[in-house]
Amino acid sequence: MPNALNVCVIDDDDIYQFTIVKSLEPIKSVKNITVFSDGEEAINFLSDNLSEENSLPDVILLDINMPIMDGFQFMEEYVKIKSKIGKRITIYMVSSSVDPVDIERVKNISDISEYILKPLMPNDLKFLIEKLNEN
């Protein structure tokens, strides 16, 4: 049986946070859900928990446009601490942006597994999490 996953949502939209958490809760392979409203909160959490593998996420659903620290700035900071993290974290950029510049920029960041357009439907989210858990 695959292990249950820790999922981290980094997005400043309260409605999106609520709906994504409600979509994740019934998925049996999701153990914990952590939500942050900006990249800075999330990077601080990762930095503070580098040695706490069970607290760290297995998957991050990352928005692009957020106040304080956006998704791209988060990725710049993540790359700096990645080597200190004791586990592999899969990162999906989940955004409503259809700007070709954003999409191309995401493609050039090797630590981002995939660019996913919002809205992320519950069945698509379940498939994504279960597929990730099987690997």
pLDDT tens for residues 80-135? Answer: 999 999 899 999 999 999 999 999 999 999 999 999 999 899 999 999 998 888 87
Q: How many domains does the chain have?
A: 1
In terms of C-beta distances under 8 Å and separation of at least 24 residues, what long-range contacts does 14-23 make, across chains too? 16/63, 16/118, 19/119, 20/61, 20/120, 20/125, 23/120, 23/122, 23/125, 23/126
pLDDT of residue 51: 87
- What amino acid is encoded at 19 in this protein? T
Q: How far is it, in rounded angstroms, from Cα 42 to Cα 116?
A: 20
Instruction: Supply the range of the domain harboring residue 39.
Output: 5-134
pLDDT of residue 86: 83
Q: Could you tell me the CATH number of the domain that includes residue 68?
A: 3.40.50.2300
Report the pLDDT averaged over residues 36-63. Answer: 96
What is residue 79's three-state secondary structure?
helix
Does residue 10 contact residue 61 with C-beta atoms inside 8 Å? yes
Model-level pTM? 0.95
Using 50, 70 and 90 to split pLDDT, how confident is the model at 3?
confident
Q: Look at the block and give the residue holding tokens 């950029």.
A: 93
pLDDT of residue 2: 55
Say if residue 1's pLDDT is above 90.
Answer: no
Report the pLDDT averaged over residues 55-60. Answer: 96
